[in-house]
Structure 1
Amino acid sequence: MITLYSYPGLYGLEDNNPYGQKVFAFLRLCGLAFEHRHILDAKAAPRAQLPYLVDDDKTIGDSDAIIEHLKQKYAAPIDDELTHPQRDLDLLIRRTLDDLYWVMSYSRWADPRYWPIFKDAILTTHPGVTAEALDGARQYNFDRYHYQGIGRFEAHDVYARGVADLQVLSNLIDEDSFLFGTEPVSTDASVYGFVANIYFYDIDTPLKQFVLSRANLVRHCKAMRDAVKRTVAR
């Protein structure tokens, strides 16, 4: 039995963290049956990070490691047709998304223009979460941003970095297909986890403004949402 542990959802998404949303989308695209459990405390997770997966007696942390495990154990054919250059591009895209993550996180927790909206959305959607807990998480994130480096940037420089990441994604996505053809692959799930956590949020950050200005990013996000929702577990 597969169990996915990830953060709670928000704004209609299954996870308010792009990495958990990515794994959720991958599982659905592959038609794998799984239980989804939402948690907030990541202390028991591998490396104290969410998401993580429990598959029978094995526990796997890190979204990329989770996907590799699922592809190997269940012979998921989703990426079988990818060429070597496409696999190289997949890695480069995932590394770009790792950079985008920090900008997304900064926009929610650090930017005083958007933090109250994000905080209120969490408190309204999840009554069990306290304002004190969120304030503590915010301070923790401030420390993370400082040591990672992005917390030392001016806000406009932070968003310029994120917009540059999104521009690359927009450049790679056609107007009427997925990244590598007519069917989604794991790379599409990765991109979807991030763009969905921008597009579907009712928070008008510079990241969302950019996504809305790129019809191909919006189309890809909506097409992935439809694909994720219609997949039936085998």
Structure 2
Amino acid sequence: MITLYSYPGLYGLEDNNPYGQKVFAFLRLCGLPFEHRHILDAKAAPRAQLPYLVDDTTMIGDSDAIIAHLKRKYATPIDDALTHPQRDLDLLIRRTLDDLYWVMSYSRWADPRFWPAFKNAILTTHPDVTAEALEGAQKYNFERYHYQGIGRYQADEVYARGVADLQVLSNLIDDDSFLFGTQPASTDAGVYGFIANIYFYDIDTPLKQFVLSRENLVRHCKAMRSAVNGAAVA
């Protein structure tokens, strides 16, 4: 039995963290039955990070490690048709998304223009979460941003970095297909986890403004949403 542990959803998404949304999308696209449990406390998780997955007696953390485990154990064919150059590009895209993560997180927790809307959305959607808990998480994130480095930049410099990442993704996505053809690959699940956590949020960050300005990013996000929902396992 597969159990996915991830953060709670928001704005209609199954996870308000792009990495959890990525794994959720992958599981759905591959038709693997699983239980989805939403948690906030990551202390029991590998490296104290979400998402993580429990597969029978095996516990795996990190979204890339989770997907590698699932592909290996269940022989999922989702990436079988990828060429060697496409597999190299998959790695580069995932590293770009790792960079984009920090800008997305910054826009929610650190930018005073958008923090109140994000905080209110969490408190309204999840009444069991307290304002005190969110403020504690915000303080923790401020420390992360400082040590990672992004917290030492001005806001316009932070968003310039994120928009550059999004521009690369837009350049790689065709107007009428997924990244590597007519069917989504695991790379598409990763991109979807991030774009969905920008596009579906009712928070007008510079990242969302850019996504809205690129029809191919919006189309890809909507197509992935349909593919994920259509591949749902009863």
Same fold (TM over 0.5): yes
Q: Deviations over 1:28-81 (max 9, x none)?
A: 000000000000000110000000000000000000000000001001000000
Question: TM-score with structure 1 length normalisation?
Answer: 0.99
Partner of 2:233: 233
- The percent of aligned pairs where both chains have the same amino acid is 86
| Cα distance in 2, alignment partners of residues 41 and 117 from structure 1 | 22
Partner of 2:62: 62
Q: Which amino acid aligns with 2:145?
A: Y
Partner of 1:144: 144
Which segments of 5 or more consecutive residues in structure 1 lack a partner in the other structure?
Answer: none
Q: How far has the Cα of 1:233 moved from its partner? A: 2.8
Q: Deviations over 1:160-196 (max 9, x none)?
A: 0000000000000000000000000000000000000
| Cα distance in 1, alignment partners of residues 232 and 160 from structure 2 | 39
After superposition, where does 1:43-58 map in structure 2 within 5 Å? 43-58=43-58
Q: Deviations over 1:136-162 (max 9, x none)?
A: 000000000000000000000000000
Q: CA RMSD in A?
A: 0.6
After superposition, where does 1:218-229 map in structure 2 within 5 Å? 218-229=218-229
After superposition, where does 1:164-203 map in structure 2 within 5 Å? 164-203=164-203
| Cα distance in 2, alignment partners of residues 233 and 197 from structure 1 | 22
Q: Which amino acid aligns with 1:172?
A: L
Q: Which runs of 4+ in 1 moved over 2 A?
A: none
Q: How far has the Cα of 1:232 moved from its partner? A: 3.7
SS at match of 2:78: helix
Q: Deviations over 1:13-42 (max 9, x none)?
A: 000000000000000000000000000000
Partner of 2:114: 114
| Cα distance in 1, alignment partners of residues 104 and 167 from structure 2 | 15
SS at match of 2:219: helix
Partner of 1:34: 34
Which segments of 5 or more consecutive residues in structure 2 lack a partner in the other structure?
Answer: none
Q: How far has the Cα of 1:131 moved from its partner? A: 0.1
| Cα distance in 1, alignment partners of residues 132 and 2 from structure 2 | 33
SS at match of 1:64: helix
| Cα distance in 1, alignment partners of residues 197 and 150 from structure 2 | 20
Aligned pairs, number: 234
SS at match of 1:218: helix
